[in-house]
């Protein structure tokens, strides 16, 4: 009996150790004598996910663990088999096979696996989610029902992707973008549009996109054009965790990257940068490398 208990405890300790290595810092506790669990990681360039099996276990992240760990990501949790209780803040859902929920890694969370459960946990970078949702509020801890077309298509796409032997970076990025686009109607909180401040923010984002190629586009010019003070503009963006000038720069860089991915032409990089509002080619190259990790020329070669 002692050896059986020790073996079970060793299995639990190994499981939570692997969880912490793959998914980040979590606390855990067994919920009964029949604990079982394992985790398998899958990586293919931009796709980073894990298959998590658990029975009679609880996983949770405290504010201290969140503060000490790396955030900057969401977990899209696909329930493959069994059931699981998923809680984040005041939102609590019970997932059954085929359901999906979104968890914010920068906030405390609590997961309960009373019976056999199998999940696929897909990492979605903040940057991708925020850009796809155009900075609408993101709904986390809500159940996307298995019977919905969104859930069925998303499940099929991500499972098919894990069966591919050799996804290129371009293919894995496209898969990730497709998943977020599919989930967008279910995870985007759009009912804030009645808020006049939110309407002004959306109007400002649209104005930035409409004038993104203009060299004149800067915080002071933008504030005048949308009819508010520069200080008010900074405050409005700060409430979203954004800095105006940085948002404009990153938006330009993202559109440059999109052009490099889609264009087969050997356009001069200095001309490309200039066309998106970067008058200094050296600054453009440095800023691009800072955002994407490689120079624009190398980035283009990946998609040639």
162 and 59 co-located in one domain: yes
Of the ranges 6-10, 100-104, 141-145, 239-243, which one carries the lowest mean pLDDT score?
A: 6-10
67 and 87 co-located in one domain: yes
- The three-state secondary structure class of 166 is coil
pLDDT of residue 304: 62
Mean pLDDT across 212-225: 92
36 and 183 co-located in one domain: yes
Return the percent helix, strand and coil in the chain, to nearest 5. 50, 25, 30
pLDDT of residue 292: 81
CA distances in angstroms from 231 to 192, 203, 219, 223, 240, listed in the order given: 23, 17, 10, 9, 15
153 and 217 co-located in one domain: no
| Helices and strands (H, E) in the chain, number of each type | 12, 12
198 and 156 co-located in one domain: no
Report yes or no on whether pTM surpasses 0.75.
no
Alpha helices in the chain (DSSP H): 2-23, 63-68, 126-132, 149-162, 169-187, 196-210, 219-226, 230-238, 244-262, 269-275, 281-292, 296-302
pLDDT of residue 170: 84
12 and 103 co-located in one domain: yes
Mean pLDDT across 91-113: 94
pLDDT of residue 265: 62
Tens digits of residue pLDDT in 126-135: 888 887 887 7
142 and 88 co-located in one domain: yes
Query: Mean pLDDT of all residues in the chain?
Result: 87
Mean pLDDT across 215-231: 92
140 and 282 co-located in one domain: no
Residues 150, 144: Cα–Cα separation, whole Å = 8
Mean pLDDT across 254-267: 78
Q: How confident is the model at residue 193 (pLDDT cuts 50, 70, 90)?
A: low
Q: How confident is the model at residue 4 (pLDDT cuts 50, 70, 90)?
A: very low
Number of structural domains the chain divides into: 2
Residue that finishes a domain, picked among 164, 189, 214 = 189
Question: Please, are residues 74 and 127 in contact by the beta-carbon 8 Å criterion?
Answer: no
pLDDT of residue 6: 36
Residue that finishes a domain, picked among 161, 189, 217 = 189
Torsion angle of the four alpha carbons 202, 207, 209, 210, in this order, in degrees rounded to the nearest 10 = 140
pLDDT of residue 240: 79
Mean pLDDT across 209-220: 91
pLDDT of residue 88: 92
Give, for 137, the enclosing helix (H) or strand (E).
strand 137-138
Q: How confident is the model at residue 208 (pLDDT cuts 50, 70, 90)?
A: very high
174 and 204 co-located in one domain: no
295 and 200 co-located in one domain: yes
| The two structure tokens encoding residue 77 | 């949790």
Question: Please, are residues 214 and 278 in contact by the beta-carbon 8 Å criterion?
Answer: no
Cα R_g (the chain), whole angstroms = 22
Mean pLDDT across 66-72: 71
Residues 254, 283: Cα–Cα separation, whole Å = 15
Strand order in the sheet with 27-30: 27-30, 57-61, 109-113, 84-88, 91-95
Mean pLDDT across 14-20: 91
| The two structure tokens encoding residue 37 | 């669990």
44 and 160 co-located in one domain: yes
Residue that finishes a domain, picked among 189, 212, 242 = 189
| The two structure tokens encoding residue 289 | 């490398």
Q: Is the pLDDT of residue 99 over 80?
A: yes
Per the structure, the complete domain to which residue 225 belongs is given by: 193-302
pLDDT of residue 146: 96
Q: What is the DSSP letter of 148?
A: S
Q: What is the CATH number of the domain that holds 166?
A: 2.60.120.10
Q: Which of 113, 121, 125, 132 is nearest to 22 (CA)?
A: 121
52 and 150 co-located in one domain: yes
Of 152 and 242, which is predicted with more confidence? 152
Q: Is the pLDDT of residue 235 over 90?
A: yes
pLDDT of residue 10: 66
Q: Which of 112, 106, 87, 102 is nearest to 132 (CA)?
A: 102
Q: Is the pLDDT of residue 244 over 70?
A: yes
> Any idea which residue has 């800067």 for tokens?
218
pLDDT of residue 151: 96
Question: Please, are residues 187 and 102 in contact by the beta-carbon 8 Å criterion?
Answer: yes
Mean pLDDT across 283-293: 88
């Amino acid at each position: 009996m002692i050896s059986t208990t020790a073996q079970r405890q060793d299995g639990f300790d190994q499981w939570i150790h692997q969880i912490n290595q793959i998914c980040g810092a979590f606390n855990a506790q067994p919920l009964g004598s029949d604990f079982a669990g394992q985790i398998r990681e899958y990586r293919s360039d931009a796709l980073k996910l894990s298959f998590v099996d658990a029975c009679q276990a609880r996983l949770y992240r405290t504010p201290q663990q969140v503060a000490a760990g790396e955030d900057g990501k969401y977990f899209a949790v696909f329930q493959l088999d069994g059931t699981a209780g998923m809680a984040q803040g005041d939102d609590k859902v019970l997932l059954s096979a085929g359901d999906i929920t979104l968890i914010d890694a920068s906030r405390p969370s609590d997961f309960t696996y009373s019976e056999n459960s199998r999940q696929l946990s897909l990492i979605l970078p903040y940057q991708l989610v925020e850009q796809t949702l155009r900075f609408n509020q993101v709904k986390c801890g809500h159940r996307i029902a298995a019977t919905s077309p969104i859930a069925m298509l998303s499940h099929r796409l991500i499972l098919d992707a894990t069966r591919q032997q050799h996804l290129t970076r371009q293919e894995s990025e496209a898969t990730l973008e497709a998943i977020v686009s599919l989930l967008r109607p279910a995870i985007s909180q759009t009912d804030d549009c009645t808020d006049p401040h939110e309407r002004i923010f959306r109007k400002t984002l649209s104005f930035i996109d409409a004038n993104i190629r203009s060299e004149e586009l800067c915080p002071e010019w933008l504030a005048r054009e949308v009819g508010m003070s520069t200080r008010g503009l900074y405050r409005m963006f700060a409430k979203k965790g954004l800095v105006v000038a940085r948002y404009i720069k990153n938006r330009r860089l993202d559109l440059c990257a999109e052009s490099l991915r889609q264009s087969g032409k050997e356009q001069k990089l200095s001309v490309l940068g200039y066309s998106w509002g970067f008058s200094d080619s050296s600054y453009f190259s440095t800023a691009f490398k800072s955002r994407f990790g490689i120079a624009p020329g190398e980035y283009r070669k990946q998609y040639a």
